[in-house]
């Protein structure tokens, strides 16, 4: 009968394994411990991620509660009329924020109409037409606009943009588009350069880098096979973009527009310097000086010399947060609908 190999000592087996990387015959199997370590690391990371997500939700809820409590006096005093009336008189203690809501929505709408098409066009050029050697300088130059502080935009708008709008742009628009039956009312009145239209223009410039950068990245994620397939079928470059690229990327482009809209709704200093801040009338004309909700807070917060006035200013902030939330939810539902009800999770994210 053949002799059985004698087991070797654990110290010898460990030495052989360390040198050769192979366990010798008869050595006891080595226990694997990295799995438990990995499970522990996954648990820690998962817990940390949950805490981070909870902190964000808690911060949002805390802000809502704080604003609701501080604006409770104004909301209980005026009720629904706080949102539907136009009187803002701190002497008579009458407050209504409808003109501020109107100014916010009008300037944001102008910014979206002017800024989003330009941003998408720039993204298409960089992603589809631009030579490789020129792509990086253009992208860097456009994205550099996002790093400029809003007060710099405001000073530039005050000293350069407003006089230019008053002397050239607004009279030209009034002489052309102002004669059209319906949209002509938007360009009626006296062009003064510091009005809702100029506020919308400077917002369009400010949201352009954000919308352009996100749209460019979304367009670059379109599979090359889609482009090549369309071109192989004889489609032109324009047909390829409109048929294969934009339908695939429309959800991401809409998301980029939402990010731009979010900045337009909440922008403060740049708009405050160019919107006029001298009229609370709702005339339907973009050439009317006015307020946005953010500019009203910036202008009047330090002037609130009694509890009701201070509560009304906080109520403006509370309404702005609610409007931003409602607009964001509606926009995300629009994205979900554009995707045909599919990818709801991606649309929400």
Q: Quick one: three-class SS letters along 81-102?
A: HHHHCCCEECCCCEECCHHHHH
Burial (CB < 10 A; 0-12, 13-18, 19+), residue 216, is buried
pLDDT category, 6, cuts 50, 70, 90?
Answer: very low
For residue 15, name the pLDDT band (cuts at 50, 70, 90).
Answer: very low
- Res 337 pLDDT > 70: yes
Give 297-332 pLDDT, tens digit per residue: 999 888 888 899 999 999 999 999 999 888 888 877
Q: Would the pLDDT of 12 be above 60?
A: no
Distances (CA, A) of 213 to 4, 5, 29, 94, 253: 72, 70, 55, 44, 10
pLDDT value of position 114: 96
CATH number of 98-306+326-348: 1.10.3720.10
Instruction: Output the CA torsion 214→200→163→158 (10° steps).
Output: -80
pLDDT (average), residues 84-101: 91
Residue 290 DSSP code: B
Tell me the per-residue pLDDT of 142-195, one tens digit each, with 9 for 90 and over.
Answer: 888 888 999 999 999 999 999 999 999 999 999 999 999 889 999 998 999 999
- pLDDT for the residue numbered 67: 94
How would you class 91 by CB atoms within 10 Å of its CB: exposed for 0-12, middle for 13-18, buried for 19 or more? exposed
Which residue has 């501020």 as its token pair? 100
Q: Which two tokens stand for residue 173?
A: 């628009």
Residue 152: per-residue pLDDT: 94
């Amino acid at each position: 009968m053949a002799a059985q190999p004698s087991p070797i000592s654990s110290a010898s087996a460990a030495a052989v394994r360390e040198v050769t990387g192979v366990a010798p015959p008869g050595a006891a199997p080595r226990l694997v411990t990295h799995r438990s370590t990995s499970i522990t690391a996954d648990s820690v990371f998962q817990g940390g991620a949950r805490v981070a997500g909870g902190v964000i939700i808690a911060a949002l809820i805390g802000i809502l509660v704080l604003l609701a409590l501080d604006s409770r006096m104004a909301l209980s005093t005026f009720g629904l009329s706080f949102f539907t009336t136009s009187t803002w008189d701190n002497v008579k203690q009458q407050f209504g924020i409808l003109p501020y809501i109107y100014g916010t929505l009008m300037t944001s709408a102008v910014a979206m109409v002017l800024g989003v098409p330009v941003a998408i066009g720039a993204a298409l050029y960089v992603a589809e037409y631009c030579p490789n050697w020129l792509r990086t300088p253009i992208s860097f130059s456009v994205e550099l606009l996002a790093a400029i502080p809003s007060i710099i935009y405001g000073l530039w708008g005050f000293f350069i943009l407003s006089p230019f709008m008053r002397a050239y742009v607004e009279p030209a628009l009034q002489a052309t588009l102002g004669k059209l039956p319906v949209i002509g009312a938007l360009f009626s009145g006296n062009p003064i350069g510091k009005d809702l239209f100029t506020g919308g223009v400077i917002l369009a410039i400010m949201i352009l880098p954000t919308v352009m950068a996100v749209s460019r990245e979304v367009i670059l994620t379109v599979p090359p096979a889609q482009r090549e397939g369309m071109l192989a079928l004889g489609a032109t470059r324009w047909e390829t973009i409109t048929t294969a690229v934009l339908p695939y990327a429309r959800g991401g482009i809409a998301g980029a527009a939402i990010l731009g809209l979010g900045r337009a709704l909440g922008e403060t200093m740049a708009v405050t310097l160019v919107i006029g801040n001298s009229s609370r009338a709702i005339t339907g004309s973009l050439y009317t000086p006015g307020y946005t909700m953010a500019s009203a807070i910036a202008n009047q917060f330090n002037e609130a010399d009694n509890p009701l006035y201070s509560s009304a200013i906080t109520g403006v902030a509370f309404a702005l947060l609610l409007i931003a939330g409602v607009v964001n939810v509606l926009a995300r539902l629009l994205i979900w609908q554009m995707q045909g009800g599919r990818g709801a999770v991606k649309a929400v994210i």
